């Protein structure tokens, strides 16, 4: 199906799907409303002609038309607007629900990374309400067509030459189109600035960044930058709106002059006996209606353009979601691991970036093993963790889960077999119980599971210090909310990661960086005991990223990464004996503690 038809079908389909009955009744009502004004004018002209020629039947016809139209417009007005408003709300609701459905169906993170995709997503979200207006615009377009046909028929009945007038109005439609495209372009061009402004505002008001902002005296710098970007964005948009206003104003003036000339001409025709007094009245009274009609079409063109653009972005998003839905990944996730996870020549570049962050990684993580990833900042440890969680697929090579390519495994199922704790944890502002329990939504109501997870995350002391224990509301946004320290949030995040009791893969990416080395060591020692028991049953693997060698040395396998590659791997004694980078870094850290 050609793209234009697909978009129109999506627009029509979404409008009618949102409120089928309402849309049908509204269509009838708007059509009735659209024809009553010109038909009523025709009734007035009949009345005038009837009085001038003293024909009571014509007078009666004129009065009947006027009264009939008044009654119809009264009913249509009374019922039409509320129904239309409801249809619009339903449509906006439907679009928002559909949008959530579509974006939630994109399983990876790539769409957050590519600026072109991020821009479009932002536009679709921001303009979702315009798509809600789509229902109204559809009715409006229908009304305008009905109204135009009626007005043209009436003008043509006086003299065919008068049909030139609405055609002149076509220039207004053209000017409206030009102005709308220019405004749209100005809007789209200023989107990157808008995103930057939003981000800077977030940074400026976030209490977490407040400390650094003040220490470095960055407040004014940030405000100046926000102000400059806002001004640039505003000026771009105002210039486009001003240009549109000038073009539309000039075209409207020309149209007004032409209409005045037409009225003079019809009066001259009437004086020559080639037109009736009723015709003059008809043309006179139709003048504002023709102006309104062309203005209506002009506005419709603008709004139709807006709605079509919104729906074409939405259509694009749906296609994008379809292509990125990883629908070919239908293999069920395994229940347990027998051989383990094998990385075969894995390479990776972030979407929209050319440079390889990982390259040539070939490695086996044996089932049941605790694996530590070490390496300097930027070595690619977190990226590897993200690939294991299948937030992205490798650019080259493959990750095999017991021999099955991870790229073919159903992503949601795979994730339900994982658990994770990160240094950049999310501070969910919920109750302490919920903060932990959401680590396994299926068992969120299981009080014992929550307590066990808290014990494993060594977070009992955090809960004990809270005013209402597990029921305490966390986060500064609430009046009775308790703010925790970085380390306390980390302990809860770790407890959350331990909610899933037997994950096949537990990813721990520096989740204890805010704890002191001894606390971290103790915690992992405790964890390792429990993990061994679980691993014997399910073959579950733990991948731990840490810069602390006291913790790392406990792992069954240590992988040393450097510059996106695996430089060496083995057990702690093996690597020390090899005397490579690991031995060097270990010695350096050990010396610092001596
Ligand atoms: N979303 C992203 N888009 C583009 N490049 C990225 C992205 N995230 C990370 N990178 C780049 O990938 C490289 C590896 O980053 P990664 O976070 O994997 O390193 P790391 O070893 O975990 O570092 P650290 O010890 O500092 O956490 C870095 O050069 C980084 O700039």
Lookup: tokens for 194 = 């808008």
Do 15 and 141 lie in a common domain?
A: yes
- Quote the CA–CA distance of 174 and 305 in Å, as a whole number: 12
| pLDDT attached to residue 273 | 87
**What is the reported pLDDT for 388?**
93
CA distance 304 to 142: 11
One domain, residues 71 and 213: yes
Same domain, 497 and 569: no
| Mutation test residue for ligand 1: of 350, 376, 423, the one with most atoms within 8 Å of CB | 350
Long-range residue pairs from 477-483, CB within 8 A, at least 24 positions apart, any chain: 477/429, 478/429, 481/429
Considering only CA atoms, which residue is closest to atom 4 of ligand 1?
A: 350
At 327 the three-state DSSP class reads: coil
- Same domain assignment for residues 183 and 305: yes
Query: What's the gap in Å between 488 CA and the centre of ligand 1?
Result: 26
Atom of ligand 1 nearest to the CA of 385: 18
Q: Are residues 360 and 488 in the same domain?
A: no
Supply the range of the domain harboring residue 385: 327-417+503-594
- Going by alpha carbons, the residue nearest to atom 16 of ligand 1 is 380
CA dihedral 198, 199, 202, 203 (to 10 degrees): -140
User: What is this structure's pTM?
Assistant: 0.65
Ligand 1 contacts (CB < 6 A) are 113, 350, 353, 357, 375, 377-383
Q: Is residue 483 domain-shared with residue 522, that is, in the same domain?
A: no
The reported pLDDT for the residue numbered 367 is 92
- Tell the residue nearest (CA) to atom 5 of ligand 1: 350
The pLDDT, as a whole number, for residue 321 is: 80
Ligand 1 centroid–CA 357 distance in Å is 7
Ligand 1 pocket, mutate which of 114, 378, 421 (most atoms under 8 A from CB): 378
Q: Given ligand 1 and candidates 108, 381, 389, which is best to mutate, with the most ligand atoms within 8 Å of its CB?
A: 381
Low-confidence ranges of the chain (pLDDT < 50): none
Among 347, 359, 323, which Cα is nearest to 398's?
347
What pLDDT sits at residue 454? 92
How far is the centre of ligand 1, averaged over its atoms, from the C-alpha of 486 (Å)? 22
Task: Tell me the pLDDT tens digit for each residue of 307-339.
Answer: 888 888 888 888 888 777 766 677 888 989 999
The answer on 252 and 180 residing in a single domain is yes
Q: Over the stretch 458-467, which tens digit does the pLDDT of each residue have?
A: 888 899 988 8
Same domain, 465 and 511: no
Note the pLDDT of residue 66: 93
Mutation pick for ligand 1 pocket among 115, 354, 357, 395 (CB with most ligand atoms within 8 Å): 357
518 and 376, same domain (yes or no): yes
As a whole-number percent, the residues of the chain with pLDDT over 90 amount to 22
Examine the domain organization and report whether 181 and 142 are in the same domain.
yes
Q: How many angstroms separate the alpha carbon of residue 543 from the centre of ligand 1?
A: 17
Q: How open is the CA angle 275-280-285, to the nearest 5 degrees?
A: 150
Residue nearest to atom 29 of ligand 1 (CA): 378
Note whether 320 and 111 are within 8 A (CB): yes
Q: In the chain, how many domains are there?
A: 3
């Amino acid at each position: 199906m050609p793209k234009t038809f697909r978009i129109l079908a999506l627009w029509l389909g979404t409008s009618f799907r949102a409120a089928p009955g309402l849309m049908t009744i509204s269509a009838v009502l708007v059509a009735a409303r659209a024809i009553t004004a010109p038909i009523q004018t025709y009734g007035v002209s009949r009345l005038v002609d009837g009085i001038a020629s003293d024909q009571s039947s014509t007078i009666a016809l004129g009065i009947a038309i006027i009264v009939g139209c008044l009654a119809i417009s009264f009913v249509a007005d009374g019922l039409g607007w509320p129904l239309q408003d409801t249809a619009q709300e339903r449509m906006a609701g439907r679009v928002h629900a559909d949008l959530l459905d579509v974006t939630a169906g994109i399983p990876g993170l790539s769409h957050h990374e590519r600026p072109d995709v991020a821009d479009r997503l932002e536009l679709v979200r921001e303009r979702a309400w315009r798509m809600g207006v789509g229902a109204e615009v559809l009715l409006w377009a229908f009304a305008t067509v009905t109204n135009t046909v009626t007005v043209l028929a009436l003008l043509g009945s006086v003299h065919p030459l008068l049909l030139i007038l609405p055609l002149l109005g076509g220039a207004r439609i053209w000017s409206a189109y030009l102005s709308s495209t220019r405004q749209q372009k100005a809007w789209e061009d200023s989107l990157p600035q808008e995103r930057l402004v939003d981000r800077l505002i977030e940074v400026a008001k976030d209490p977490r960044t407040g400390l650094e902002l003040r220490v470095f005296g960055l407040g004014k710098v940030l405000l100046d930058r926000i102000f400059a970007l806002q001004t640039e964005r505003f000026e771009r948009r105002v210039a486009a709106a001003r240009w549109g206003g000038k073009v539309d104003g000039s075209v409207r003036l020309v149209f007004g002059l032409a209409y005045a000339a037409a009225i003079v001409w019809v009066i001259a025709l009437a004086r020559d006996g080639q037109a009736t007094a009723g015709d003059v009245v008809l043309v006179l009274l139709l003048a504002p209606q023709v102006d309104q009609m062309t203005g209506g079409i002009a506005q419709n063109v603008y709004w139709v353009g807006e709605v079509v653009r919104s729906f074409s972005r939405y259509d694009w998003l749906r296609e994008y979601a379809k292509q990125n839905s990883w629908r070919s990944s239908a293999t069920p996730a395994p229940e347990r691991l027998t051989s383990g996870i094998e990385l075969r020549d894995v390479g990776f570049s972030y979407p929209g970036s050319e440079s390889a962050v990982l390259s040539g990684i070939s490695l086996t993580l044996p089932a049941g093993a605790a694996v530590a990833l070490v390496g300097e900042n930027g070595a690619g440890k977190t990226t590897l963790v993200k690939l294991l969680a299948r937030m992205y697929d490798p650019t080259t090579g493959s990750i095999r889960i017991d021999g099955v390519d991870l790229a073919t495994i159903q992503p949601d199922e795979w994730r339900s077999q994982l658990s994770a704790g990160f240094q950049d944890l999310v501070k969910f502002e919920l109750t302490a119980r919920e903060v932990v329990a959401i680590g396994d939504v299926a068992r969120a109501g299981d009080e014992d599971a929550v307590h066990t997870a808290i014990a494993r995350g060594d977070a009992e002391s955090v809960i004990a210090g809270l005013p209402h224990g597990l029921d305490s509301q966390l986060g500064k946004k609430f009046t009775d909310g308790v703010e925790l320290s970085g380390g306390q949030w980390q302990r809860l995040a770790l407890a959350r990661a331990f909610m899933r009791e037997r994950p096949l893969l537990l990813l721990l990416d520096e989740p204890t960086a805010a704890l002191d080395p001894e606390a971290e060591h103790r915690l992992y020692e405790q964890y390792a005991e429990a993990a061994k028991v679980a691993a014997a049953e399910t073959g579950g693997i733990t991948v731990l990223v840490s810069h602390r060698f006291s913790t790392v040395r406990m792992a069954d396998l240590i992988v040393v990464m450097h510059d996106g590659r695996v430089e060496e791997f083995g057990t702690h004694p093996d690597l020390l004996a090899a005397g490579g980078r690991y031995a060097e870094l270990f010695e350096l850290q050990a010396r610092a503690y001596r």
